[in-house]
Amino acid sequence: DYRLLDNCQTRIPRSVLTVPNGVSWGTWDEIKMCPSETYAIGFILKVYRPSSNAGDDNRVLTGIRLYCTNVFKDSYLDYRQSVHIFYILLLLVILRIFSRFNCSREQVLEGDGRSRGEWSGWSQKCEGIGICGISTLREGPQGNRNYSVLKNVRMYCCS
């Protein structure tokens, strides 16, 4: 059984992963942490497609949700449609329009980002057992755009 993040910040991260191509303008969301003794093993991306032109790949990332489990106790996971979940720990992150993660078994999990945008370099590696929290930087609605766009991400690593 896996759990969603909560806003309880009772865990103290050992390190913070950042991406070199993230921007600094916008507003940071509050840190969302995995419940105590759980770590991120999967993610789902929230995307918005502002244009109805099917030929354009102009989708934007508006959110990342981590899925957490106790990797030492849980033996069964519910694999749901469109959720990228593997029974491995997320350890590194890079950001383009969509996220890509490098996991404990050297597998790379990648969202459906198509070819638009440029990948950053990999973040530094997690200090501790794995990723236990996330915070995203958003640029709010602009002009006639009525949605927020994710501009940067911080992943928190715990022991």
Q: For position 1, what pLDDT does the model report?
A: 45
Q: For position 36, what pLDDT does the model report?
A: 87
Q: For position 133, what pLDDT does the model report?
A: 92
Strands 3-4 and 99-103: unpaired
pLDDT digits (tens, 9 = 90+) for 9-55: 578 899 998 877 777 888 999 999 998 888 888 777 777 776 655 45
Q: Based on the number of CB atoms within 10 Å of its own CB, is 72 exposed (0-12), middle (13-18) or buried (19 or more)? A: exposed
**79-101 average pLDDT score:** 47
pLDDT digits (tens, 9 = 90+) for 45-82: 777 776 655 455 556 778 888 888 887 775 544 444 33
pLDDT digits (tens, 9 = 90+) for 147-157: 777 888 888 99
pLDDT digits (tens, 9 = 90+) for 98-121: 455 566 656 665 555 555 556 666
> DSSP of 21-65, one letter per residue?
T--S-SEEPPPEEPPTT-EEEEEEEEEE-----TT----EEEEEE
The domains located in the chain, with CATH, are: 3-158 (2.100.10.20)
